[in-house]
Structure 1
Amino acid sequence: MAAASKEATKLPPLSPFGNAVAGSLGALFALTIVYPLDIIKTRLQVQSKQSKTMMKENEYYESTFDAIIKIIKMEGITGLYAGLPAGLIGVASTNFAYFYWYSFLRSKIIKQGSMSTISELLLGAFAGALAQIFTIPVSVVTTRQQTTHVKYRKDLIGTAEEIISDDGITGLWKGLKPSLILCVNPAITYGAFERFKHLVSERLSNNNNGEELSPGIIFWLGALSKTIATIVTYPYIMAKVRLQWKPPKDDEDDEDNYINKKKSFKYERYSGAIDVLQKVYKTDGILGLYKGMQAQITKAVLSQALLLYVKEYTTKYTIMLFILFGKLLAGKKKVQ
């Protein structure tokens, strides 16, 4: 009887649009919580051994904790949220596009049979690529705002205009190539998450009469999945940020520049992701390719785990809202 009751109250699957809405809500919540880590990891990623000797002591970060203290001291608590509006727009649009295409294509494939792990990975990569092509301009704007000194920082529109003025309209798509390669990151994350969730669900189904996964289990499965993906792809994550970053001009006077440079110091200009990796390796060694990874993993793991957690539980309410909305529309048609 209990099983029959459970089946009777089982909600229908959510549409691709509904999944996109749920995914966007989860992403917005997650980024709002972890945004200070996002800005810290970005600033750490654009620093190098060379810049340490050229920067003022209170503007070079030795670690995540050191960055938090110095940013608050120099910019106040709001400094930890520089570029947040652009960041929220970015994650909402990216995750909406990602989850829409992922859910849409997955539902079509599932109708023809079960999906293998490879299929999950390829599908995730393809959905991620589609999302990146349309949403990367917001990522470029966010990176610029996060790494620009508070004295010169502009709002979202002003930053976008500055990028177009400096680099043309294509400047808004800086880092697109590594971003497309990094589509393997969410592919690994969601592919691994679906596999882990399936395995754990099967185990719990055998032991606990089909009980749903608890919030805690979903959180840790999301954390594990994102950790694996981040470690594998981190050098390219760092390369993308450096391509989108705008280094201070070499000829700027020290009074107008927050970098205390020596005259002989020149910031690297990069022609592409491979060029970034080669130059960083040359100056900072293998560890340079992983600079800021601690903050990146902490931010990415918390963000992904929160996103998946919120999405899983937002999905139920989104389905209910869609059903209610459908009934309201049906009622209106009958009245007419």
Structure 2
Amino acid sequence: MSDALINGVAGAGGGIIAQLITYPLQTVNTRQQTDRDPSKSGSKDGTIKQMYQVVKHEGWERLYGGLGPSLIGTAASQGVYYYFYQIFRDRAESAALKRFKKGNGDGSVGMFQSLIVAAISGCVNVLLTNPIWVIVTRMQTHKTKRRPPTQALPFISDNANSPTPYGTSRAVRELYEEAGLTGFWKGVIPTLIMVSNPSIQFMLYETLLQRLKKKRALSGKGADGVTALEIFLLGAMAKLGATVVTYPLLVVKSRLQAKQSSGDDKRHHYKGTFDAITKMIRYEGISVFYKGMNTKIVQSVLAAAVLFMIKEELVKAAGLLLNGSKLKPP
């Protein structure tokens, strides 16, 4: 089994676990981003209170709306990303080694090359998996009224008042009726630009990791002296820096992917990325681009830290099982 495939599978596994742990935060954050009320410039009530309100008025299951396709999307995204990242990384390392043999460079992949590798891998991932995330956004932002307890009893028939479950098939059907096949790639432009997020994240992560490994090697412990806790902290630091820089694009992407408002209010109908940015600034102000950022920082940093830690451990375990030695994570 190739290193690329092992890293892809490990990345998917780590991503799924991180998603399960942080999904309620992600649901609340997506709702914060797509909230059209200009008076709510951020998480005014606090993330925990907003989660409580969702559970109170819609039921706890709404915190996990879209979890099924989200897990599929996470596994696909992480698997695709890490698979192609390892392939492109191997090629970059091979090119660096050839330059070193010719007397150019030190034989290692620099920060700029790492950024390019991450960006290309991210673009491939976005183009292949964007339809999944449009559906997830639709399901996260769909709101339903919780029925009174008596109406929820299984032996009472109340078809007239029972809302149709908002599942994956319904979200897919509504999106297709609204925008056709192209609707499944809504928000792809800001998402492609947001490739800079994982690119910055991985550049920071690898830079910090390499420095830590060198420090371990100089201390006599060797590069394998890096612990799971240190990987967790490095992943968190890298994701924090990337999230702060790119968050406004994430808000625009969520607005484009969410279901468009019905009625004649054109303020909330977005024809594209530029139209969305223009209307958001005009009707809601600059602060709209930072709605829910506190929630996102907590969710994304925790998810990234868990992902990195679990992925690294899975790669090590796979190396020991298959080859009797530790594989090299990207």
The bucket for the TM-score relative to the shorter chain is 0.7 to 0.9
* 1:108 matches 2:91: yes
* Residues 67-88 of structure 1: CA deviation (Å, up to 9, x unaligned): 1110110122212111100110
Of 208, 212, 220, the residue aligned with 1:196 is 208
Q: CA deviation at 1:202?
A: 1.1
Q: CA deviation at 1:209?
A: 2.4
CA separation in 1, counterparts of 2:165 and 2:193?
A: 29
| One-letter identity of the residue aligned with 1:108 | R
Check the 8 A contact 2:36/2:268 in 1, yes or no: no
CA separation in 1, counterparts of 2:44 and 2:269?
A: 22
* 1:94 matches 2:77: yes
Change (3 A) 1:201 1:307: same
| One-letter identity of the residue aligned with 2:16 | L
Deviation larger for 31-40 or 209-218: 209-218
Partner of 1:49: 37
CA separation in 2, counterparts of 1:166 and 1:17?
A: 38
CA separation in 1, counterparts of 2:226 and 2:283?
A: 47
**Which residues of structure 2 form unaligned runs of 5+?**
97-107, 145-162, 325-330
Of 63, 85, 110, the residue aligned with 1:80 is 63
* 1:239 matches 2:222: no
| One-letter identity of the residue aligned with 1:281 | I
Partner of 1:158: 170
Q: CA deviation at 1:267?
A: 5.0
| One-letter identity of the residue aligned with 1:64 | T
Q: CA deviation at 1:112?
A: 2.4
- Provide the identity percentage: 33
Q: TM-score, normalised by structure 2?
A: 0.83
Partner of 1:170: 182
CA RMSD of aligned residues (A): 2.0
Partner of 2:272: 272
| One-letter identity of the residue aligned with 1:226 | K
- Secondary structure of 1:49's counterpart equals coil
* 1:212 matches 2:209: no
* 1:39 matches 2:27: yes
Deviation larger for 144-153 or 71-80: 144-153
CA separation in 2, counterparts of 1:161 and 1:321?
A: 44
Deviation larger for 76-85 or 19-28: 76-85
Q: TM-score, normalised by structure 1?
A: 0.82
* Residues 36-71 of structure 1: CA deviation (Å, up to 9, x unaligned): 01001000001133476xxxxxxx973312211101
Partner of 1:329: none
Partner of 1:19: 7
**Residues matched between the structures, number:** 292
- Secondary structure of 1:62's counterpart equals coil
CA separation in 1, counterparts of 2:39 and 2:66?
A: 23
CA separation in 2, counterparts of 1:301 and 1:118?
A: 23
Check the 8 A contact 1:236/1:273 in 2, yes or no: no
**Which residues of structure 1 form unaligned runs of 5+?**
1-12, 53-59, 252-264, 325-336
Change (3 A) 1:216 1:94: same
* Residues 106-139 of structure 1: CA deviation (Å, up to 9, x unaligned): 0121122211101111110110100110111000
Q: CA deviation at 1:278?
A: 2.4
Of 197, 200, 204, the residue aligned with 1:185 is 197
Of 68, 92, 100, the residue aligned with 2:51 is 68
Change (3 A) 1:269 1:322: farther
Deviation larger for 181-190 or 203-212: 203-212
Regions of 4+ moved over 3 Å: 48-52, 320-324
